Amino acid sequence: MSNAFAKLKKGRDFSKLTEELEKTQSPQQTSSSRDDRFWKPTTDKTGNGYAVIRLLPPPSDEELPWVRIFNHGFKGPGGWLIDNCLTTLNKKCPVCEANTELWNTGTTENQNIARDRKRKLKYYSNIYVVSDPAHPENEGKVFLYQFGKKIFDKISDIMQPTFEDENPINPFDMWEGANFKLKIRTVDGYINYDKSEFDSVSALSDDDEELESIFNKEHSLQDFLASDQFKAYESMKDRLDRVLGTVTPTRTAAEDMEQIMDRTPLTEAAAPVAAKERVAVIQDEEDDALSYFEKLANED
């Protein structure tokens, strides 16, 4: 048994984890193009989907089982801006500063603009796919999973339950965690996760060798917070000025598309789907990233 796995099994007090959870309650994304490390749920022709996943503990040498990342994505007269928000790293962000100025004007028009340019929030965790009826080949494998606030709220609820008769559970624990039943519906044209829920407490496996094998397959989460995933303030400010048309744009349309392809996760939902296969790859209902391609397609 490796030292990292032995440490994981021995020290499963999640008080530090709940402290970090509390930090995320106040408002505060980077993916490459098509990344096979990621798992994505799917829906059928009716817009419904179902899968069972298990949230996994922090990878070796990392403290938290999730990372959260903010990004901005919008189009201006000078093209697109799609970049990670520097507030992710507790640094000043020129887009957020510009949004604050717009909001403080008090006018409805400017506040609507600020809303359109606001930062979006995403979480990343490692998961083990217990059941994936739409893609059974994914079962028994470890993936990265990107999700939004709706699902994170359910994680928060099970870790910090509201009622006294409910015991707190660490869903990232391999021995005393719980499987997550992802139930997807389409409600009024939007993806809805309200029916999703955690199952009762159970070990992911009774075999420590199997659990260690799963643990060793986890992907780094801290990579998403690496410096090369974020532009410097000056570089981002320069891009913002060009997108807003306050300086003469020098980037070509091809360069704009290259930036979009580099910063936005390309999924099957963003690609043409044959009429006979109306099975969509789904992300969180608050995820605006995939809509960028649809907006581009509808531009005059």
Range of the domain at 122: 3-298
Q: For residue 118, what are the contacts with CB-CB under 8 A and spacing of at least 6? A: 72, 99
Tokens of residue 143, six digits: 């993936």
Alpha-carbon distance 120 to 81, whole Å? 13
According to the model, what pLDDT value does residue 173 have? 97
Interval 67-100: pLDDT, tens: 999 999 999 999 999 999 999 999 999 999 999 9
- Over residues 120-142, mean pLDDT: 97
According to the model, what pLDDT value does residue 22 have? 63
Total residue length of the chain: 300
According to the model, what pLDDT value does residue 252 have? 53
Tokens of residue 190, six digits: 């939007």
Say if residue 264's pLDDT is above 60: no
- Average pLDDT for the chain: 83
Say if residue 267's pLDDT is above 50: no
CB 265 within 8 A of CB 292: no
DSSP-assigned states of every residue in 30-84: ---SS-TTB---B--TTS-EEEEEEE--PPTT-S-SEEEEEEEEEEETTEEEEEE
The DSSP code for 118 is: -
According to the model, what pLDDT value does residue 12 have? 73
According to the model, what pLDDT value does residue 266 have? 39
According to the model, what pLDDT value does residue 260 have? 54
Say if residue 210's pLDDT is above 70: yes
Q: Map tokens 């440490």 to a residue.
A: 7
Q: For residue 108, what are the contacts with CB-CB under 8 A and spacing of at least 6? A: none
CATH of the domain at 191: 3.90.198.10
Dihedral sign for Cα atoms in the order 200, 202, 205, 209 = positive
pLDDT band at 262 (very low <50, low <70, confident <90, very high): low
Tokens of residue 150, six digits: 């709706």
- Over residues 108-124, mean pLDDT: 96
Alpha-carbon distance 64 to 283, whole Å? 22
Say if residue 292's pLDDT is above 60: no
CB 36 within 8 A of CB 266: no
Interval 28-61: pLDDT, tens: 444 445 789 999 999 999 999 999 999 999 999 9
Tokens of residue 59, six digits: 């990878």
**Structural domains in the chain (count):** 1
